[in-house]
Structure 1
Amino acid sequence: MLPSNNIQSIVGATLFGTDDDKIGRIAQVLVDATDGHPTWAVVHVGTLARHSTFVPLTDATWENDDVSVPFSKDQVKHAPRIDSDGGLDPTQEQELVRYYSTGSATDTAGADPGAAPDASAGRHEESR
């Protein structure tokens, strides 16, 4: 679990995926409005056509000022594109939770449509 006492230290950190693939730099961190723990990172991905994408921090680890997540670089790169300027509304969050739990935004087999998204359900606050 990532530290919630110093969210700003996560912003700017390098995000690594499975097989130690460098995914990108963390541009923003969204925190749970109820207890302040980090729930989502906004990461800039791509080399030529750069875009921002959300990555869940539920199972992320922090080591040597880097953050690692249990997702491949390709999976993060192909996540649903959601405007990162205003945080996440519950519908957008559910779409991302489905994507990261199944690997595809359209393949929802095995996903419980009534399940709440991790411990991060509810309104999110943005930290930069």
Structure 2
Amino acid sequence: MIDQTHVEALYDCDVIDNHGEKIGSVKRVWLEDGTGRPMWAEVHTGLFGMKESFVPIQQGQVAGGAITVPVDKEQVKDAPSVHTSGDHMSEKEQEALYRHYGMRLPQAKTGEHDRLGGKRAPEVTLSEEKLDVGTRSVETGRVRLVKHTVTEQRDITVPVTHEEVRVVREPVRGTGTGKAFADEQAEVTLHREEPVVQKRTEAVERVRLEKDAVTEQRNVKGEVRKERVEVERDDERR
């Protein structure tokens, strides 16, 4: 039989029915007021352990980290719902559970059944800090296009042509056209090309500013706090 010495060992213990099937795990133990005798285990059952059912453990056996109870798994699934208030179970709720499992009601004291008090497993809540990393837009600088005029020298080679004179002699047949022994002169006009520099203005290029988004990886460091738990006993520390 289960007594007060087993209470602490029952929490999170697997509950096995009389056919060896697992019913669920113990999340709360209900004790008889006054005597402190374990009477019922509040067990999480169903898909994902979302349902809470009450299982009688007065006649259960604890072994190998599990508790075997003399009831059927289907009985537990169909057990009446219990709405506790102030960590106590009412007499009507107790009686409904006893009737469901076909158990004899305990003898009443002073005309009333003993009330049951629920005892939760001792627990602490651990917290830790998390780093939430994001980004924000900040102005890093401004870029502008500024146009100004510069003067530079250009050396360009231009082909130019000039005329030169050469003397050509030909024999004369007959009397010729000139006067003999008279002074004469003949001339030709010579020409040459000279480089002429003129300037004109024309558009050669358009320049504009565009922005591109470049993604790079940055490491962000930060200190976070987290809580740890230690189990302490009077005679040792783990």
TM-score (norm 2): 0.45
Distance 2:79 2:117 in 1: 21
Listed one character per residue, the Cα deviations across residues 62-96 of structure 1 (whole Å, up to 9, x for unaligned) are 11121111111111011111125633110000011
The verdict on how the C-alpha distance between 1:3 and 1:74 changes in structure 2, with shifts beyond 3 A counting, is same
Q: Secondary structure at the match of 1:91?
A: helix
Q: Distance in 2 between matches of 1:101 and 1:124?
A: 19
Task: Verify the 8 A CA contact 2:80 2:97 in the aligned structure 1.
Answer: yes
Is the contact made by 2:30 and 2:119 (CA closer than 8 Å) also made in structure 1? Answer: yes
**2:40 corresponds to:** 40
Larger Rg: 2
Q: Deviations over 1:28-57 (max 9, x none)?
A: 001111211100100011115831011111
The range that moved more, 83-92 or 22-31, is: 83-92
Q: Which moved more, 1:20-29 or 1:57-66?
A: 57-66
Higher relative helix content: 1
Equivalent residue, structure 2, for 1:124:
116
- Post-superposition, which runs of at least 4 consecutive aligned residues in structure 1 deviate over 6 A? none
Deviations 1:102-121 (A, max 9, x none): 7xxxxxxxxxxxx6x23794
Amino acid of the residue matched to residue 118 of structure 1?
P
- Partner residue in 2 for 1:106: none
RMSD over equivalenced CA pairs, Å: 2.1
Gaps (5+ residues) in structure 2?
121-238
1:90–1:59 Cα change, 3 Å = same
Distance in structure 2 (CA, Å) of the matches to 1:11 and 1:72? 21
Overall identity of the aligned pairs, in %? 24
Q: Which has the higher contact order (CA 8 A, sep 6+)?
A: 1
Call closer, same or farther: CA 1:75–1:119 in 2, change over 3 Å: same
Q: Partners of 1:77 and 1:35 in 2: how far apart? A: 29
TM norm structure 1: 0.80
For residues 83 and 51 of structure 1, the distance between their equivalents in structure 2, rounded to whole angstroms, comes to 13
Contact 1:29 1:38 in 2 (8 A): yes
Contact map agreement 2:84 2:90 (CA 8 A) in 1 = no
SS at match of 2:4: coil
Q: How many positions carry a matched residue from both structures?
A: 115
Amino acid of the structure 1 residue aligned with 2:116: H
Query: Judging changes above 3 Å, is the alpha-carbon distance between structure 1 residues 123 and 92 closer, same or farther for their aligned structure 2 residues?
Result: same
User: Structure 1 counterpart of 2:119, which letter?
Assistant: S
Q: 1:49 to 1:94 in 2, by over 3 A?
A: same
Unpaired runs of 5+ in structure 1? Answer: 103-114
Query: Distance between the aligned counterparts of 2:4 and 2:40, measured in 1?
Result: 12
